[in-house]
């Protein structure tokens, strides 16, 4: 990936950021920031069969949503097991990062997408609950591939933000057990704690982002404490932050998509370096002009480009 000193947003995102920055700091509300994610256009339409169901899990049954292109296929289709983000404590199957991403990839790639509603962390639910749900969902897809119309040799595992973290951790675990996914698709993932230091180029870009839109290590510490049930990050399993694995050899081919104006970009860039050093095939791209979580904005051109890239990864195999 080539980085460059762009330092300007996608035009519509830039307009919204400009309006936000013109407000006095003490008058900005949560609604002001939520407006950044308002749709920029209509949702895409695809001819898909979409089914909500529950599957067996290590704890409660796991809700999943299965997206299949309508009509028959001459051969089993590739599949993506997909995980939404939400800082491990939020998100669901209806958020754009889950629903619109799954629809867009299934339609573009003529692939089956299984979106997973893993358990969210709370005062009563901690790691490894979400990790275990992801492992169970991946194995359910693999074991039920014929019924799903899926090629069992072409099952990818992917996610965005916290979902990218869970996808990377589960991929590492599956590798350790000799059943690594076909490939991993990691969208603006966080796989290190603390967050790696930013490059000079990234640091310059981040000066243009309002502080409440950036994740910093203090916030990560708070979220991680909830995720880990109060245990220190240093004691966490390597499957929690797989960027700290000593050996990444055997990790499957990986696609990493980083957002330009995102403090977590340094984690995606560092993980790319680590995977390449381990001899893993990695495609890293920079989604220019966007903030963290760009797949959550319906109608955003950069989101469509990302869906095109993800679909290409699934089709080419």
pLDDT in tens, 10-60: 999 999 988 887 776 667 777 888 889 999 999 999 999 999 999 999 999
3-class state of residue 155 by DSSP: strand
Task: Tell me which of 2-11, 68-77, 137-146, 196-205 is least confident.
Answer: 2-11
Say yes or no to pLDDT of 237 above 70: yes
Which contiguous run of DSSP H or E holds residue 312?
Answer: helix 301-316
Where residue 152 falls among pLDDT bands split at 50, 70, 90? very high
Structure tokens at 191: 């796989």
Residue-level pLDDT at 5: 61
The percentage of the chain sitting over the pLDDT mark of 90, rounded to a whole number, equals: 85
Look at residue 309 and tell me whether its pLDDT is greater than 90.
yes
Q: What confidence score (pLDDT) does residue 183 get?
A: 98
pLDDT value, residue 235: 82
Distance CA 101, CA 114 (A): 11
Active site (catalytic) residues: 161, 262, 292
Residue 257 in tokens: 């998509």
Helical axes 129-143 vs 162-176, angle rounded to 10°: 60
Residue 7 confidence (pLDDT): 77
CA–CA distance, 110 with 78 (Å, rounded to integer):
8
pLDDT of residue 2: 46
Range picked from 16-30, 70-84, 218-232 for highest mean pLDDT: 70-84
Global pTM value = 0.96
CA angle 312, 316, 317 (to 5 degrees): 130
Q: Is 90 exceeded by the pLDDT of residue 236?
A: no
User: Which residues have CB under 8 Å from 59's CB, separation 6+?
Assistant: 119, 129, 132, 133
Phi, psi (rounded to 5 degrees) for 80: -120, 120
The Cα 21–Cα 137 span in angstroms is 42
Average pLDDT (115-121) is: 98
Alpha helix segments (H runs only) across 177-299: 200-206, 217-227, 265-277
Choose the weakest-confidence range: 70-74, 114-118, 278-282, 284-288: 70-74
- Residues 6+ positions from 94 with CB-CB distance below 8 Å: none
Residue with tokens 């870009």: 205
Per-residue pLDDT, 1: 43
- Among candidate residues 87, 15, 6, the one with its CA nearest the CA of residue 260: 6
CA 293 to chain centre: 9
Tell me the mean pLDDT in the region 288-300: 97
């Amino acid at each position: 990936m080539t980085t460059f000193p762009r330092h300007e947003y996608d035009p519509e995102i830039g307009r919204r950021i400009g309006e936000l920055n013109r407000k006095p700091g003490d008058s900005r509300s949560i609604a002001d920031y939520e407006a950044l994610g308002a749709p920029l256009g209509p949702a895409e339409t695809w001819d898909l069969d979409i089914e909500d169901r529950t599957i067996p899990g290590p704890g409660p049954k796991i809700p999943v949503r299965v997206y299949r292109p309508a009509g028959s296929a001459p051969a089993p289709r590739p599949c993506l097991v997909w995980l939404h983000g939400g800082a491990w404590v939020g998100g669901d199957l209806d958020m754009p990062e889950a629903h619109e991403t799954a629809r867009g990839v299934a339609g573009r790639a003529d692939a089956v997408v299984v979106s997973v509603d893993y358990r969210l962390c709370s005062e009563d639910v901690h790691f490894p609950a979400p990790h275990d749900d992801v492992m169970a969902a991946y194995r359910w897809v693999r074991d039920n591939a014929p019924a799903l119309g899926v090629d069992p040799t072409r099952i990818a595992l992917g996610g965005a933000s916290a979902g990218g973290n869970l996808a990377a951790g589960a991929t590492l675990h599956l590798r350790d057990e000799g059943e690594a996914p076909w490939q991993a698709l990691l969208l603006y993932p966080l796989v290190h704690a603390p967050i790696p230091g930013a490059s000079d180029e990234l640091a310059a870009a981040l000066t243009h982002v309002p502080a409440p839109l950036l994740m910093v290590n203090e916030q990560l510490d708070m979220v991680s404490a909830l995720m880990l049930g109060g245990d220190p990050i240093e004691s966490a399993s390597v499957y929690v932050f797989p960027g700290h694995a000593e050996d990444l050899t055997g990790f499957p081919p990986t696609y990493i998509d980083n957002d330009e104006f995102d403090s977590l970009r340094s984690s995606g860039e560092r993980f790319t370096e680590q995977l390449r050093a381990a001899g893993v095939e990695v495609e890293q791209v920079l989604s220019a002009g966007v903030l963290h979580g760009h797949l959550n904005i319906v109608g955003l051109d950069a989101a469509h480009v990302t869906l095109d890239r993800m679909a290409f990864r699934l089709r080419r195999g």
